[in-house]
Structure 1
């Protein structure tokens, strides 16, 4: 769903090199292959890429270009077939499944198109779920600030079924912010929302970067949604084919059109 571009915002250019700049997520020689032998399908062959702390990156490309696979590998939801992923300074390949789960709970926030809220829990309980699973307490002042920021003050006792789609996504963003993660990964966070609501959600993500120096990595198909980011990484056939600082809606749309004209891509 297309959303209005942020009026008058000038995105900060991402760092041109890593000197003195914190790297939130680093991928080195990462490949992901599904299947074996003649039936093997290369989903990702990303090589080397860094995502810098305190920046907003959009990941785009044709359907099947490897966007979600990149996000899943970077977030530790899936293990690559080759290469290394370092998140918050930790090599994820060295972690057991239990340790990997703890790493995600402590250092990662997620916002998905389908919201992924627990229907039996109210808004407050959904926001606090990551802290509860990690066995930690969320600072009450922090919780109040997050709730105020996402505009859910009067909805804390409501369950997801009593909320609009936009409100549910606000709960998901508040849940992601509640643990002060090193990185917030978003997979098509505005795909199920109307135009105005999508703009509100993207503004919240933008504010998380600008106000809190959070790191946001967002997979999206929408050029206008991507225009909220500081940097847009374009994928095709599982590889990075372009990496541009705040290119603007027209340039993003043009890049996507040219990638689509290239034809078939991997799954």
Structure 2
């Protein structure tokens, strides 16, 4: 069982998530995990292993079927949708593979969007530091269509940073990028941890991307099967290859009796 402490940016305790009706699918099965402040964690695993579901539950984007999720000392299970939306806008940042920028807005307007939605005036000095950090000072009046993929992802990272979130959740942030641009984006995320003391939780399938993290957590069949301090890209690849050769686990079966929720793919 996980024990929440002041060092935890995010903690999940016995979290399960079940999708479906007559034939439910268990995406997560009694997962315990702690994500410490000022660290980067890579979450990996085969397709359907539950890694994105874990990210969404931990970020308050999806509610677990059972168990507890905390961001800092705030438990999410008792919060209304309105309260969760407010929390996500003020305390959490998101970076996704698809960038999710608003095409009609300029770079600067996209970066400031979370502040505008939350009704908070941005800190001018911090905004300037964020823009300098992502290296887009000369692109502020451009629109997303005028930028490269790497530049668009930098805008997304700046948007995630501008509210000074406690934790930044990334779902395959380099999946749509070429190797060199991906390395630049990963170095930027690493600097967010090392220089700003932020917490990054990143779902990725790429061992090289995972090598930028302090810790690698591997899921299979909705459970954590490996939790390693940074093992290096080669060992990560070896562990994933071994996992891919395993016989399908029967660990889902006991959890099928849990109360099913509305159908959704895990």
Report the TM-score when normalising by structure 1: 0.91
CA distance in structure 2 between the partners assigned to 1:233 and 1:245 by the alignment: 9
Q: Secondary structure at the match of 1:149?
A: helix
CA distance in structure 2 between the partners assigned to 1:119 and 1:19 by the alignment: 40
**Which consecutive residues of structure 1, in runs of 5 or more, have no partner in the other structure?**
1-16
Q: CA RMSD in A?
A: 1.5
CA distance in structure 2 between the partners assigned to 1:149 and 1:164 by the alignment: 17
Within 5 A, what are the aligned runs for 1:199-214?
199-214=183-198
CA distance in structure 1 between the partners assigned to 2:201 and 2:209 by the alignment: 12
Does structure 2 retain, via aligned residues, the 8 Å contact 1:65–1:235? yes
Does structure 2 retain, via aligned residues, the 8 Å contact 1:88–1:107? no
Residues 6-32 of structure 1, C-alpha deviations (whole Å, 9 max, x = no match): xxxxxxxxxxx9797610001011000
Q: What's 1:91 paired with?
A: 75
**Which consecutive residues of structure 2, in runs of 5 or more, have no partner in the other structure?**
253-265
Alignment length, in residue pairs?
250
CA distance in structure 1 between the partners assigned to 2:141 and 2:96 by the alignment: 22
Q: What's 2:144 paired with?
A: 160
CA distance in structure 2 between the partners assigned to 1:90 and 1:255 by the alignment: 34
1:176 aligns with one of 153, 160, 171:
160
Q: Secondary structure at the match of 1:228?
A: coil
CA distance in structure 2 between the partners assigned to 1:18 and 1:72 by the alignment: 21
User: How much does 1:263 deviate?
Assistant: 4.2
Does structure 2 retain, via aligned residues, the 8 Å contact 1:30–1:46? yes
Residues 56-103 of structure 1, C-alpha deviations (whole Å, 9 max, x = no match): 000000111001000000000000000010012111011000001001
Q: What's 1:23 paired with?
A: 8
Q: What's 2:20 paired with?
A: 35
Does structure 1 retain, via aligned residues, the 8 Å contact 2:60–2:88? yes
Within 5 A, what are the aligned runs for 1:1-267?
22-36=7-21, 38-264=22-248, 267=266
Moved over 3 A (4+): 17-21, 263-267
